[in-house]
Structure 1
Amino acid sequence: MPRDDDLTARMAEPDFWPLYLFDDQAMEAYEEAREDEEAEEEVLRAEFLLERGTGLKLEFEPGVGYVNLAVRSPESAKDETVGWDDTAHFHPHVMPWSELDLLCRAAALYDPALRHPGPVLALLLRFAFLTEDDDLDAITPMVDAAFSAVVPTAANDAVPPGAAGVRAETRDWFDLRDLRGTGIEWTPRSDGCQAVTQHDRDGMPLYSLREPESVEFPFAAWSGMLARATELLHSVRTSPALDLPEVRACLDRCAGPNGHRHIGSLASALSQAGFDNTVLLRALSHPVVLVEAAWAVETLAGLELGELVAAWAGASPLASSGSWRLSLTLPAAGRPWRFAQKFTDELSAALQAAGLGRAEANGSTSVQGEDGDYLHHSDHLDVLVRDDLPGGVRVISQLLHHHQAAETAILKHGEKPHEHIAVIDFSV
């Protein structure tokens, strides 16, 4: 993967992934450190190529919490933005999982220095989202493996209780990019390019440049890149080695029940047949994780992307998981300055420690007094509760009582019809 040396080095540092994933504490610590050092702003770049002049370019600016993704094509004189992510006016919904997986596989085939799942998948996940047809059994193990490959061990906390048995980074991505049930529809434009729309805005909203009438999204360049990725995967199957009976027999065994037990035999048969794709041979003979071998077999056998990944990895822990988005309002009257921020930090830490979710500030409300001045009236928090709504409400209620805020706080569901949720009364 062509990428600048700065990014290569930074990815190995403990603070990189918390910064890249927009962890509030990491971003605050980074900002304070940069102010002390008076250092120049970092701009980290990576290119994921499928051939010369075709691929993706990613730019990350840690100091402002901004990630930009652009497509590069031979027909364009400059890179064309397809999406960006920040903490304010983001448009990160670029592609479905199927396209991301396809691009990562093709990039790994083009550049033997890459492994999939690995850095390409981990970096580009923020620009992919889940829709109705996605199979969590095929997706979860790939995402888990990608983060396991790149996040330094020292910064890799154990999965907390109640986190559905997946990595924290995987669950965070799932919560942020799960648009199932929100009316997502893919439609072909008149030029044949796929565009995305959303019919139900009551759930998590779609923020994408890729809407049907968009003049900003480079549809032709994107479609050309996907076509090239598909060609790369198909070209592997033109090798004469795959026509030999002994290789076909090994492939059939790998594609059948308990196929993972036969990947060593397949690797040996391919080597003896003169198959020379080093990426796929390595994935079969020395896979870092089993799903690496699974996608290699899928590629060689012409199977659907994710078919063997799902079969070999088993049921996703996320398939039975659930989440609730809540709104918490804290009146400011009688409270010290920055009370809401302190409360938010404490609540988020408590929920994360229990494996139940997180909280973040979502602005404040002011009212105009009789003298014309605006007074701080209330603060608003977004709260994500995972898997156990009563347990999450209990954590929220306990902290509200601890700060003598239970009687005035307003807790509601964040989605329509915005039903109120009673704060637990621990005095009863």
Structure 2
Amino acid sequence: MGIVVQKFGGTSVGTIERIGRVADRIISYKEAGHQMVVVVSAMGKSTDVLVDMAKEISAHPDEREMDMLLSTGEQVTISLLSMMLEKKGHRAVSLTGWQAGITTESVHGKARIKHIDNERMKSELAEGNIVIVAGFQGISEEGEITTLGRGGSDTTAVALAASLKADKCEIFTDVSGVYTADPRVVPAAQKLDVISYDEMLELANLGAGVLHPRSVECAKKYGVCLVVRSSFTDEEGTYVQEGITLETGRVVSGVAHDEDVAKITVVGMPAQVGTLSRLFNTLATHHVNVDIIIQSSYDAKASNISFTVAGSDLTHALQTLEVSRADLGFDKVEYEEALTKVSIVGAGMVNNPGVAAEMFRELAQQEISIKMVSTSDIKVSCVIASEYADRAVRALHSIFQLDAQEVAVVHGI
């Protein structure tokens, strides 16, 4: 048998007892003849604890030092899991991201993986060791510790699976697979047996927290067989693969929501050729990711440009705009927080006109105002006030006939 890469999230390794259960699961694969590479996150909410400690010192701690701090969470887990496997009679070796050969961009906080030197991992596997790798981290070409952003352990696992040409990559979490909506919000959400890369990528980008978007991008690019499963049961999970629709015969296959949204409006931008290019190049240079964009002109000389960013990026985006105000030539910046992007996704939407209209009609019946809209071939997204998010998700899930008869079970909360 070949290599299997598994990833266990923070909930799955949140206590010593749970680490013991994870070790038992790994051992069952090892004894079945697989070579095992395991990626783990920091235990429980320990990353949040580290962030809170840093913010007790500074509201805006140095990004390099934050990477140095946050990378320690995963190192705790890899050493404890390796000890547990040794105790249970199986040789294991723990590797930090850089020991595993993961080289990233020179960006702190949300670096991308550039390449992986997998020789160390292959050597350890050849010696019969179970390889335990710290997720979420790597090293830049300048020798600096970097992190991949929250949820980056998924990306680590899929990237390692691609590099090692693993048979499959299993992502273990606190739910049994990919659901038609977040089961914490919609207890009647249904688990899907299979989902296409494209639909999963849309759901992940739109706020479905079960998989990190970059991990799905990597899986699609390299054809990695990706499986989402529960750490707490032996239930079959959801397979993410090419060319599979979510549910045959359904127009809408899932509802996602992202509560980390802020809206920025740049007022009085010069109405000139190249204005949009200058504005968004400035934001991109400072690593501010922009989502929905709307331009509105109010006279021949000026226009307003509204766009959304992650709520966590709002302060940085506002600072970037203020510093660049003279060069860009705008009048002022307005912003709005506490927003949520609610989206419907489905490959069946391509050939079914009127889906967006039905979504807008249902939100209107729920007396929910829509602030911004974005569409693609397989999704429609609406930005709304966060106080209405749960109501909107449940209403859309119901109106598009996604409710299941049984209530979904979420472990570990």
TM-score, normalization by structure 1:
0.30
Q: Name the larger-Rg structure.
A: 1
TM-score, normalization by structure 2:
0.30
Q: Which has the higher helix share?
A: 1
